Amino acid sequence: MNHFLDVHKTDSAALNSILDQAHAMKTARAGRPRAALDDDLPLDGHMVALIFEKPSTRTRVSFDVGVRQMGGQSMVLSGADMQLGHGETIADTARVMSRYVDLIMIRTFDESVLLEMAEFADVPVINGLTDRTHPCQIMADVMTYQEHRGSIKGKKVVWCGDGNNVCASLLHAAAQFQFDLTFTGPAQLDPEDEFVGLARRAGSTIQIERDAETAVQGADLVVADTWVSMHDSQSTKERRHNLLRPYQVNDALMAHAKPDALFMHCLPAHREEEVTSSVMDGPASVIFDEAENRLHAQKAIMRHCLGK
């Protein structure tokens, strides 16, 4: 079963094959209307369930459009529609859904929901995001770097801010794509030791550096993410802002990176908080290419999951 649950759970050859296909599909669509079907329709006759316990813009639209462009049909379901884990077990839901659809993408809170869905489903399951990881985003990020600068192997990537789910998947990618990663942020928000250890054992240089300017020295890529979640209380937001203010990505900080360094952010961004508008709209920023590449990377992931 070709699930796509986390970057480190898919072997590096398959990951590179997925990205090669994503680049090829993006190139083939150049100049087409957004609604046009691909020449190759690997999802023709296939039904894909898109399950959202967490709200989404990019994930929902990119998966839905991707399914349609490849000739398939999608069914978008919210957690309220399904009452996941409330009454019926996740396992039973997975068994039932497998009788109706060919592929399941789920965006949820607790990683255990994803893992139980994958364990009991008879069709492939894709991790659209959990509180712990966000592998589809990182596949788009690696694709975007390749598009602009070539191979990411051996490059220095710097993560600024909170060691969150996106940072976790970036650590997984460091192991699989063989780049180095420096985390700069407050100790209270360090990435999980398990993920740091995984990347180091794979041969990547993983550093924790509290001083942001020191961390960014010689960086090929600087990455940030929002400091707060929509679910955070006001007191939590204020506490996080105080902790993370020294790690804002601004022009002064980017000046310490390489002259041709790129800046990425998975969006949505809070301008003038984790990153300034001058960086977001500046020459180093590839954030909108990164957002578009969610579509292409995820199309290739779906093809991989279905053996297409």
Alpha carbon distance 152, 145 (integer Å): 7
**Measured between alpha carbons, how far is residue 229 from residues 28, 233, 268, 284 in Å?**
36, 9, 11, 26
Among residues 134, 172, 265, 296, which one is catalytic?
A: 134
Query: Is 106:117 a contact under the CB 8 Å cutoff?
Result: yes
Q: Which of 58, 180, 225, 265 is catalytic?
A: 225
Cis bond upstream, residue 268 (ω within 30): yes
The question of whether 231 is a catalytic residue gets the answer no
Out of 107, 132, 240, 303, the active site residue is: 107
Active site residue 225: yes
Selecting among 137, 146, 176, 298, the annotated active-site residue is 137
136 catalytic, yes or no?
no
Is 305 one of the catalytic residues? no
Contact 141, 174 (CB under 8 A): no
Catalytic, out of 68, 294, 296, 304? 294
Active site residue 172: no
Contacts of 240 (CB under 8 A, 6+ apart): 162, 227, 228, 232
Q: How many CA atoms lie within 13 A of 155 on its CB side?
A: 22
Q: Is 122 a catalytic residue?
A: no
Residues with catalytic roles: 107, 134, 137, 225, 266, 294
